[in-house]
Amino acid sequence: MDQIFLLHVLLLNLFFLCQLGSAMQSRSGASSTNSAVLPYNQNPYNRKLPYSSSSHCDTDDGLPCPETDALRTVISSLGLSSAPSISRSFCNESKSLNSITINCTCSGSVCHVTEIIMENMGLRGVIHEDVGKLTYLKTLDLSNNKIHDSIPYEIGNLTNLTILDLSNNQLSGRIPNSLGHLNNLQTLSLKLNLLSGEIPQSLGKLSSLVYLSFRGNKLSGEIPHELGNLSQLEELRLDDNELSGELPSELGKLSNLEEFWVTSNNLTGKLPKEYDNLRNLLSFEVGGNYLSGPIDPFIANWTNLTSLNLMGNDFDGGLPEEIFNMTSLEYLWVSDLKEPGLSFPKSANLTNLYQLILRNCSIKGRIPEYISNWSWLLTLDLSFNQLTGEIPDSFHNLILSKMFLTENKLSGKIPGWINKVVYKGDLSYNNFTFPEPGKEHMYPSYNNSKNVSRPTPQKINVEPKNRTFLYQIMDERCHHKKSKFHSFFINAGGDKTATETGHYDADTNTSLFYVSPNNWAYSCSGYFQSSSSDASDYIKNTTWGAPSIEETARLCPQALTYYGFCLKNGKYKVKLHFAEIVYAKDEDHSSLGKRVFDIYIQNSSLQGNREKKDFNIKQKAGGPKKIWTENFTAHVEDHLLEIRLFWAGKGSTYNPPFLNGPLISAITVIPDFPFGGLSHAQIAGIAAASLFIPLLLLAFMWRMGWLSVSHLATIMVDDRVPSSTQGSKNKLGFVNSTIKAPSEEADPEDYATWSRCNDMVHSWIVNPLNPEIADSVIYYSTAHEQDQQKLKQFLMGLNESYNAIRGQILLMNPLPSIRQAYAYAELPDQTVAVKRLFLQSNQAIDQIGREVYTLKTVKHQNLLEFLDVYLKKDLHMLIYEYTEHGSLAHALFVKISDFGLAKLSEEESPNVVIGVGDTFYKTFDRNQALDILNLAILCINPSPTLRPTMSEVVSVLEGNKKIEELFIAATPST
């Protein structure tokens, strides 16, 4: 019995197991039935909203429930302001959908959504993943909106799609590989978004694709060679991305291709020979890349070609002559060919040409007459070549919109028909003949109303007329090229601005050529691609929290050149300030633009001294609206400094807002030599004269008998003691503003006294300065401001071994005092000479901290190099370079190592106390005092040629020559 019972139990369990297995097999079968559709739970972009099942799903009439719910969710997620009501009967209802299109196809009583067009509806939402459930869709057009987030992976389920247009939105992320499942797709447009990553190789499976555009994104990596399998493709747009690598040779199999656009990428290598097979091409646009090698003649085999853009690459040699006989060409753009460049052929037949750009191609010889036979020609740009001769007069037959012949070697008179140019032109930097002012009547064309040859400034730019214009300016501004300046600061595109670095001149003029009232000028040439651009586009500004000089910029389409003139010869530090403020916004896709140009410093002909090639502001700075500076060294030999920014065709051309060309925010030019490049003898003479002039005044009074020696000593000592204004002895009080001006209205008598004293102190400070350095004086309103400025100058003067501590000091808030900064800066390991100071007062210690930085910046062969100062507790030391053979103090009673610091000695001395106000004093005996006073008289002789040299001064100080000998030599002959 028990065995029978167990047998029944086993049979019952076996029955249940069979039933369970059958159920599992059924569920597994259902799953395999849907395997052709991408698994929903494998979607990496899963953002499913709560599923709301429609009612009345027990019938087959109308739109199926899953499709109804998916449509409702998709439309809601897109953010349509007035979304239609979606129900199962949606396809059968006749209603207005407010300019949106949602079409259905019905078979019997069952309907499916086949078309959704919501173009330019202001949508600001996202594409919901449920769009993958609308599997009957054939057209999905959501273009020209503000849709953001990524493209859902589930969109690959829409295998019936023939048109997918998501262009001109704010979509980001990667292009999903699932798009490769859309076997029926004919149009795929994702242009003008913010998509990144690589182009999926799976797109090579789209055998029905006719139109493919990814233009204007952030796509990177190489162009997939699988795209060569798109045998039906007629238009390929991959321009304005970050694509790199070589052009795939497999694309040569696209025999139906008509439009090929890959401009403004980072492509390299040669043009593949397989492209000879692209015989149906209408447009071949590869400008703005880094392609190299020769331009192959097979291009001439593209007999249907209407547009050829080879600009801004690194092609070798010239342009094959066969190209000049492509009768279908309407646009021929070539620029920046390497030497030897191209030459015009003896004949050419481009009779249908609208635009001819052969810029910076090293073309030599004359402009050929046959160009005048191209009656359709609207744009002629032959700028930056080496063309000679005159402009052919036969060009008067042309109706040109633009004519640019900038920077050639053209000569002769400007032809009378020049003002027929409709839009604009540029003839600057040539050798044309211009009538002198008042002699226009000598040129017949100037008097012929039918043949006016005086260019209209608004349309035809001729300034600067040639490269000698700067010498003409210097003849006016600094006669006989006498140097007057050793720096200049320009706030490009902005107003006059004072910064910690210097006072920047305003630069807001919108003309193509401008000479500043100061010592600089600029010129701008070229034209923007946008027909709506005007002179206002040369100046750009924005507000983004940056220093004022980086919030503005000057923009120029082609070549922007700044000139500094009347400069002292010598070595200069040139700092160029940049911040991309035009190609900066995601909202209008301008952030996708690339601004690439070359930088030339001095000798800036395009075959000259190129400091930076293919400079990209955003790439250097790490994005838009970020500051970047470039530092250069320039050698000025003829009192001229030239800075040129030149657009060589790379980067963006068509990307909105179509404002290609160089951009700069500010220019800082300062000398890299002491005292404006003076000789060592001049430096010593100026320093001595500036130092001893106040001393000379006292000496003169003493020699005339107006002051006794004791009186002289009393004055000098009293100058160190604060007193009232009416005592008029405390000059320092006027300098540091501790003596305040009384009210002119309340106390006019005291104000008059104060004013006289203030003027006297001001004259004592300014008048002793040699004219060579008087223009460089900087005035400060407070001592703190001066201390902070000294700190910044001190930090800028530190060499590379101090980079770490300099960075730490600059990060301190607030900045330390100059004295503290010296304490923070540690010397590198080296043998040094140390002089200990015995200072009893805190005032003297503070004075060292404020003044000693001057010595640290002075470099001269006759001075011991001052290295640092140590000021801690009771130990105060000056640190100098070590001299193996002893100190100069043994030879000179004025210690050159202590130049400017002798007053800090607090040792008692019985000798006469001599000094200048609050800036210098030292102890001497009486005879030594007389010698140095007499030397001071000679050092400030009004005639520089009669001043003694440093060697003569040293000879007197050493006792090798008598002071009377110098007086005799300084006496002019009669």
Q: Residue 958 class from Cβ within 10 Å (0-12 exposed, 13-18 middle, 19+ buried)? A: exposed
DSSP H or E stretch at residue 353: none
Residue 166 CB contacts under 8 Å (≥ 6 apart), including other chains: 127, 140, 142, 143, 147, 151, 189, 190, 193
pLDDT at 882: 60
- pLDDT band of 628, cuts 50, 70, 90: very high
911, pLDDT greater than 50: no
pLDDT at 848: 62
Q: Which residue has the higher pLDDT, 85 or 212?
A: 212
Look at 241-245, 514-518, 724-728 and tell me which has the smallest mean pLDDT: 724-728
Task: Render pLDDT for 266-285 as a digit per residue (tens, 0 to 9).
Answer: 999 999 999 999 999 999 99
Going from the C-alpha of 277 to that of each of 248, 554, 792, the distances in angstroms are 14, 45, 65
704, pLDDT greater than 80: no
- Helix and strand counts by DSSP (H, E) for the chain: 17, 48
Cα dihedral across residues 831, 835, 839, 844: positive or negative: negative
Q: What is the DSSP letter of 39?
A: P
pLDDT at 888: 38
Structure tokens, 640: 């001229």
Task: Render pLDDT for 59-97 as a digit per residue (tens, 0 to 9).
Answer: 678 899 999 999 999 999 999 887 788 888 888 875 557
Q: Give me the amino acid identity at 592.
A: L
239, pLDDT greater than 70: yes
Listed in sequence order, the DSSP H helices in 644-799 are 680-703, 709-718, 731-735, 748-766, 771-774, 783-797
Which residue from 682, 665, 386, 630 is spatially nearest to 539, judged by alpha carbons?
A: 665
DSSP H or E stretch at residue 238: none
DSSP H or E stretch at residue 877: strand 875-881
Q: How far apart are CA 100 and CA 83, in angstroms?
A: 10
pLDDT at 728: 38
Q: How far apart are CA 290 and CA 270, in angstroms?
A: 9
Task: Render pLDDT for 166-184 as a digit per residue (tens, 0 to 9).
Answer: 999 999 999 999 999 999 9
Instruction: Say if residues 304 and 328 touch (Cβ distance below 8 Å).
Output: yes
Q: With pLDDT > 70 as the criterion, what percentage of the chain qualifies?
A: 63
pLDDT at 61: 80
Which residue from 231, 221, 266, 269 is spatially nearest to 252, judged by alpha carbons?
A: 231
Task: State phi, psi for 687 to the nearest 5 degrees.
Answer: -60, -45
Q: Give me the amino acid identity at 626.
A: K
418, pLDDT greater than 50: yes
What is the pLDDT averaged over residues 424-447?
68
Task: Render pLDDT for 531-540 as a digit per residue (tens, 0 to 9).
Answer: 777 888 899 8
Per-residue buried b or exposed e for 216-235, using 16+ beta carbons within 10 Å of the residue's own CB: bbebeeebbebbbbbeebbb
933, pLDDT greater than 90: no
Structure tokens, 630: 């470039």
Peptide bond into 340 cis (omega under 30): yes
pLDDT at 676: 41
Cα dihedral across residues 729, 734, 736, 741: positive or negative: positive
Task: Render pLDDT for 379-406 as a digit per residue (tens, 0 to 9).
Answer: 999 999 999 999 999 999 999 999 999 9
722, pLDDT greater than 50: no
Q: What DSSP line would sit under 667-695, residue for residue?
A: EEEEESSGGGG--HHHHHHHHHHHHHHHH
Give CA angle at 558 (545, 266), nearest 5°: 80
Q: Residue 167 class from Cβ within 10 Å (0-12 exposed, 13-18 middle, 19+ buried)? A: buried
- pLDDT band of 375, cuts 50, 70, 90: very high
Please, what is the angle between helix 803-810 and helix 783-797, to 10°? 150
pLDDT at 196: 97
pLDDT at 591: 87
Instruction: Say if residues 240 and 261 touch (Cβ distance below 8 Å).
Output: no
Which residue from 253, 312, 304, 306 is spatially nearest to 286, judged by alpha carbons?
A: 312
What average pLDDT does the structure give for the chain? 77
Per-residue buried b or exposed e for 904-926, using 16+ beta carbons within 10 Å of the residue's own CB: bbeeeeeebbbbbbbebbbbbee
Task: Render pLDDT for 756-777 as a digit per residue (tens, 0 to 9).
Answer: 677 666 555 555 555 544 444 5
Bridge-based pairing of strands 460-461 and 424-426 is parallel
- pLDDT band of 944, cuts 50, 70, 90: low
Q: Which of 23-32, 709-718, 741-750 has the highest mean pLDDT?
A: 741-750
Task: Render pLDDT for 483-530 as a digit per residue (tens, 0 to 9).
Answer: 778 899 999 999 998 887 788 999 999 999 999 988 999 999 999 887
pLDDT at 608: 59
Distance from the first to the final alpha carbon of the chain? 157
Task: Render pLDDT for 639-685 as a digit per residue (tens, 0 to 9).
Answer: 899 999 999 999 888 877 888 999 999 999 999 987 444 444 444 44
DSSP H or E stretch at residue 27: helix 2-33
What is the pLDDT averaged over residues 111-127?
94
pLDDT at 432: 92
pLDDT at 485: 87
What is the pLDDT averaged over residues 623-641?
92
pLDDT at 785: 60
Instruction: Say if residues 617 and 580 touch (Cβ distance below 8 Å).
Output: yes
287, pLDDT greater than 90: yes
Q: Which residue has the higher pLDDT, 708 or 661?
A: 661
Residue 769 CB contacts under 8 Å (≥ 6 apart), including other chains: 690, 777
Instruction: Say if residues 225 and 203 touch (Cβ distance below 8 Å).
Output: no
904, pLDDT greater than 60: no
Q: What is the DSSP letter of 200?
A: P
Global pTM exceeds 0.85:
no
37, pLDDT greater than 50: no
Task: Render pLDDT for 958-969 as a digit per residue (tens, 0 to 9).
Answer: 677 777 776 666
Beta-strand ranges (E) seen in 395-465 are 402-404, 409-413, 424-426, 431-433, 460-461
Beta-strand ranges (E) seen in 414-558 are 424-426, 431-433, 460-461, 488-492, 497-498, 503-507, 513-515, 520-525, 539-541, 552-555
pLDDT at 89: 87
Q: Which residue has the higher pLDDT, 966 or 12?
A: 966
